[in-house]
Chains A and B, each alone.
Chain A
Amino acid sequence: QKEVEQNSGPLSVPEGAIASLNCTYSDRGSQSFFWYRQYSGKSPELIMFIYSNGDKEDGRFTAQLNKASQYVSLLIRDSQPSDSATYLCAVKGYSGAGSYQLTFGKGTKLSVIP
């Protein structure tokens, strides 16, 4: 059973601070890693993906991957109240016969305090 673990939170940070969201995964063969943002009552929205060890930056977001430690994180710089949402970590691994499956964590709820 492939598992993806996230701290459920809530994680509260003041406006303008850096929010750090963490995720660990069990399947060492996992190949790609995704962060989704989900506002209450809405669908998940892709915000970042990373395939290789190291950092990947996109605007205020940085994804960090360490395959040796089976750890992926998302940093949000200059956090805004509009960043308040649940952040889902998703890990994709090969499931055989040319197919890939995403395994999701249960999400971390982030609250940015004005």
Chain B
Amino acid sequence: NAGVTQTPKFQVLKTGQSMTLQCAQDMNHNSMYWYRQDPGMGLRLIYYSASEGTTDKGEVPNGYNVSRLNKREFSLRLESAAPSQTSVYFCAQAEGGDQPQHFGDGTRLSIL
């Protein structure tokens, strides 16, 4: 898993429920990322954190919030889940912003 641990691996939610997806890296790297992957859409960046204490929006941030709790952990929160957020969510880490990114195993999220 390239030093990235995501929990949970699978989750089913009802519309309107909230949930936090957890991501932790053991590489002591600065940059962390959250992507979603949908059929026919490819991987799209939701939020990223270039370093501890900073977060920035990516291509599709609406409906999500993030927290870079410390250098190791970067969580993604859905405050009020919608069926359009059904997707596979990947967390990634990189040594620095211009270095290759390495992905966790993903969280498969279904919202009914």
- Chain A residues with a Cβ under 8 A of chain B: 31-32, 34, 42-46, 49, 88, 90, 92, 97-102, 104-107
Q: Is B97 a contact of A98 with CB atoms below 8 Å?
A: yes
Interface positions of B from 39 to 81, Cβ below 8 Å from A: 40-45, 48, 50, 56, 58
Residues of A within 8 A of B101 (CB): 34, 46, 102
Q: Is A31 a contact of B98 with CB atoms below 8 Å?
A: yes
Q: Is B98 a contact of A100 with CB atoms below 8 Å?
A: yes
Residues of B within 8 A of A45 (CB): 103
Of all A-B residue pairs in the complex, the 8 with the closest CB atoms, nearest first, are A100-B97, A106-B42, A104-B43, A43-B103, A104-B42, A99-B50, A44-B103, A43-B106
SS class, residues of chain B in contact with chain A: loop
Identity of the chain B residue whose Cβ is nearest the Cβ of A89 in the assembled complex = B42
Given A31-B98, A100-B97, A101-B48, also A88-B105 (CB < 8 A) = no
Q: CA–CA, A34 to B100, complex, Å?
A: 8
Residues of B within 8 A of A98 (CB): 50, 97
A-B contact pairs, 9 of them (CB 8 A): A32-B98, A34-B100, A42-B105, A44-B43, A49-B100, A101-B45, A102-B33, A104-B42, A106-B41
CB proximity of B8 to chain A, nearest CB, Å:
15
Interface centre among A46, A88, A102 (most CB of B within 10 A): A102
Identity of the chain A residue whose Cβ is nearest the Cβ of B108 in the assembled complex = A41
For residue B102, CB closer than 8 A to chain A, the reply is: yes
Residues of A within 8 A of B33 (CB): 102
CB proximity of A35 to chain B, nearest CB, Å:
10
CB proximity of A58 to chain B, nearest CB, Å:
13
Q: Is B43 a contact of A88 with CB atoms below 8 Å?
A: yes
For residue B90, CB closer than 8 A to chain A, the reply is: yes
Choose from B42, B44, B102, B106 the contact partner of A107 (Cβ within 8 Å): B42
CB proximity of B38 to chain A, nearest CB, Å:
10
Q: CA–CA, A49 to B90, complex, Å?
A: 20
Q: CA–CA, A90 to B50, complex, Å?
A: 18
CB proximity of B109 to chain A, nearest CB, Å:
15
Residues of A within 8 A of B44 (CB): 104
CB proximity of A105 to chain B, nearest CB, Å:
6
